[in-house]
Amino acid sequence: MDSIPPLLIIDTHVHLYDCFELATFLDAAYKNAQTHATLQQHDGPILGVLLLTESAWDHWFQRFVTFANQHTTISHHTSHSWSFHHTNEDYTLFAQSTKGEKLLIVAGRQIVTQEKFEVLALMTSQVFQDGLTIHESINQVKKSGGIPVIPWAFGKWWGARGKNLTKLMKSSIMNDVCLGDNSGRPKFLPYPGHFTLAQAQGIRIFPGSDPLPLASEDWRPCSVGLSITSVLDYESPGAHLKSMLQDAHTSITPFFHHEPFSRFIKNQVAMKRRKPRRVTS
């Protein structure tokens, strides 16, 4: 009897913040991946995948590289210990707990454009400049070999910016560009029309957790995302995963939940009270 191929549970919009306990964050990622695998009735091995989307001032992936180089193990009294291990790629690492639980961590950036859109640069170690036009930003991500994603954000697809996004989506630059959904989108809002347009045009929508910079958000990684059942090349996992995500024939299963109204309001109030680290919009 053939063994069951692994289920890859991929969170496509991952932020890390200083207010998070790192080992607890990784524990949450694996636990959420396990939960999704159970819901999908998958009895084989699983691999949680964290596609980082770091802002200009964040360098968590490089911190993980240092951990791997120095054989540093991280832990917390409420969590397992985690170690970090290189692959043959400069933009992927494995994190492994003392229980043998494994996560793939993939470098990536979040860019703020001149028009105050966000563009995610998935699966690339390149650092990008903020403040360029959205066209320039998308082209730079493509040139780096990364996957460009324009993520939903509360209020940022409305009004003039929403009209500009509609125009952009009807242009040729959207070849190999995806839209992003996230777990902070509340159910009381209507389904974004840009997602409907994307589905009509064959543009893929990548869900991701998009944690906020609040200590209470450390539970989110791998709580939403997409899954692929496939044997992964563990020597060059990023290149293999990237080819699957960019292949229209790859069977991808999105999983998603809406933000409850009470938590949405609580987080919005907390974010208003929080002193911003950088002003980007």
Query: For residue range 139-193, what is the model confidence (pLDDT) as tens digits?
Result: 999 999 999 999 999 889 999 999 999 999 999 999 999 999 998 898 899 999 9
Question: Where does the pLDDT of residue 50 fall: very low under 50, low under 70, confident under 90, or very high at 90 and above?
Answer: very high
Query: Does pLDDT of 2 surpass 70?
Result: no
pLDDT of residue 277: 54
Q: How far is CA 209 from CA 183, 202, 262, in A?
A: 5, 23, 18
Rounded Cα distance between 156 and 149, Å, is 14
Query: For residue range 121-140, what is the model confidence (pLDDT) as tens digits?
Result: 999 999 999 999 999 999 99
Domains assigned to the chain: 7-273 (3.20.20)
Q: How far is CA 50 from CA 13, 20, 25, 212, 240, in A?
A: 8, 15, 11, 16, 15
Query: Does pLDDT of 279 surpass 60?
Result: no
Q: Identify which of 14-18, 213-217, 257-261 has the greatest average pLDDT.
A: 14-18
Query: Does pLDDT of 1 surpass 50?
Result: no
Higher pLDDT, 53 or 281: 53
Query: For residue range 60-103, what is the model confidence (pLDDT) as tens digits?
Result: 999 999 999 999 999 988 777 999 999 999 999 999 999 999 99
Q: How far is CA 247 from CA 37, 159, 251, in A?
A: 23, 33, 9
pLDDT of residue 9: 98
DSSP-derived secondary structure letter, 85: E
Non-local CB neighbours of 92 within 8 Å, separated by 6+ positions: 104, 105, 106, 107, 236, 237, 238
% of the chain residues with pLDDT over 90? 83
pLDDT of residue 7: 96
pLDDT of residue 276: 58
Report the chain's mean pLDDT, rounded to a whole number. Answer: 92
* Number of helices and strands in the chain (H, E): 7, 12
Query: Does pLDDT of 264 surpass 80?
Result: no
Query: Does pLDDT of 108 surpass 60?
Result: yes
